[in-house]
Structure 1
Amino acid sequence: MFNTMTLTKTVGAICGTLLIFLFANWGADAIYHSGGASHDGEHAQAYIIDTGDSEPAEVEEVVEVSFDVLLASADVGKGEKVFNKCKACHKVDGSNGTGPHLDGVVDRDIASVADYGFSDALASLDGAWTPDHLNGFLEAPKDYAPGTKMSFAGLSKATDRADLVAYLQTLN
């Protein structure tokens, strides 16, 4: 009367039913999900009605400090720590790695290291690696020289860039 085959069919039917409900729930979520919940569990408001009761918030003025001022107060020790991000590709002993060596890079002509194949983007740049050029390049290499082979995303903090340039100046 109640054998193994009956038990297998019953368990299979229950699992199949649960699977159908699971797919139905998944499909309904995909179709009808509003996506309005934020990370703290509150629902996002569809639109805001301005009643004029609140006063506009005061906007703080952001004072930008020039790179020269940051460089003058840069910390070489911190720059050496920032250079750890560069060590994977660049050396400071005069030999080239994945990238060209960086000893003597400050005020050196751009793309002038012998025995290194620079990208056309860097080879087409004129001038020398002044602290301002290094600042621009280190902020976003792909934006500064589109087509560069350097895959590093850049340093977003101006103080980190100033510290790094100060460290590189000690290697001249």
Structure 2
Amino acid sequence: MERDMFDTMTMTKVLGGVCGTLLVFLLGGWVAETVYHSGGHGHGDDHVAGYTIEVASAEDAGGDVEEGPAFAEVYAAASAADGEGQWRACSACHALEEGVNGVGPHLYGVVGRDVAAVDGYGYSGNLIAVNDVWTAEELNAFLENPKGYAPGTAMGYNGMRRIEDRANLIAYLDSLDD
């Protein structure tokens, strides 16, 4: 009889501990939501941040923003060998073998190829509307910010920030075909 009471009490304590922990997490989430957001409780347009961080713009700094070197200069010095290392990020969705499509179209011969030229692959209309041919310059602009280059594109990649990395990758892709 004593053993059954001990088991029941133990289970009650465990259940109480789990419920108490859940209550603490829910309460913590509510407090964080209250501290960091003001306004209504919905998640629509009326949801406003509770604080604003002011950032100085280029005009406030009193000078022009220095642009990096032109892509043509960087591309002229690009290394296809270094670009092969950049390819790893692309290989998750693309293949290098002609006619083999993954989530994205194959990239064999992409430099100089018409956009939407891969048979059997359904391109997003937004990408087709932006460009006709994948020149090195167009690939550079697309790889820097795919969603900014072709808003609504199905490509989920966030972009490659360094111009040298983009130039090396494009040089690698261009070296694969004749």
With structure 1 as the length reference, what TM-score do the two structures score?
0.64
Cα distance in 2 between the residues matched to 1:112 and 1:63: 34
Shift of residue 77, structure 1, vs aligned partner: 1.1
**Residue 109 of structure 1: aligned partner:** 114
Q: CA RMSD in A?
A: 2.4
Are 2:75 and 1:98 aligned? no
Shift of residue 171, structure 1, vs aligned partner: 1.6
Moved over 4 A (4+): none
Q: How does 1:1-172 map to 2 (within 5 A)?
A: 62=66, 64-94=68-98, 95-172=100-177
Cα distance in 2 between the residues matched to 1:158 and 1:62: 14
What percentage of aligned pairs have identical amino acids?
43
**Residue 4 of structure 1: aligned partner:** none
Deviations 1:4-34 (A, max 9, x none): xxxxxxxxxxxxxxxxxxx9xxx7xx77xxx
With structure 2 as the length reference, what TM-score do the two structures score?
0.62
1:134 alignment partner AA = L
Q: Secondary structure of the equivalent of 2:92?
A: coil
Count of aligned pairs between the two proteins: 121
Rg bigger for which structure? 1
2:117 alignment partner AA = S
Cα distance in 2 between the residues matched to 1:60 and 1:136: 22
Change (3 A) 1:97 1:63: closer
Q: Secondary structure of the equivalent of 1:124?
A: helix
Q: Secondary structure of the equivalent of 1:79?
A: helix
Q: Could you tell me whether the CA contact under 8 Å between 1:139 and 1:156 is conserved in 2? A: yes
Q: Could you tell me whether the CA contact under 8 Å between 1:108 and 1:129 is conserved in 2? A: yes
2:94 alignment partner AA = H
**Structure 2 gap ranges (5+):** 1-26, 36-60
**Residue 45 of structure 2: aligned partner:** none
Deviations 1:44-91 (A, max 9, x none): xxxxxxxxxxxxx9x898462110110110111110000100000000
**Structure 1 gap ranges (5+):** 1-22, 32-56
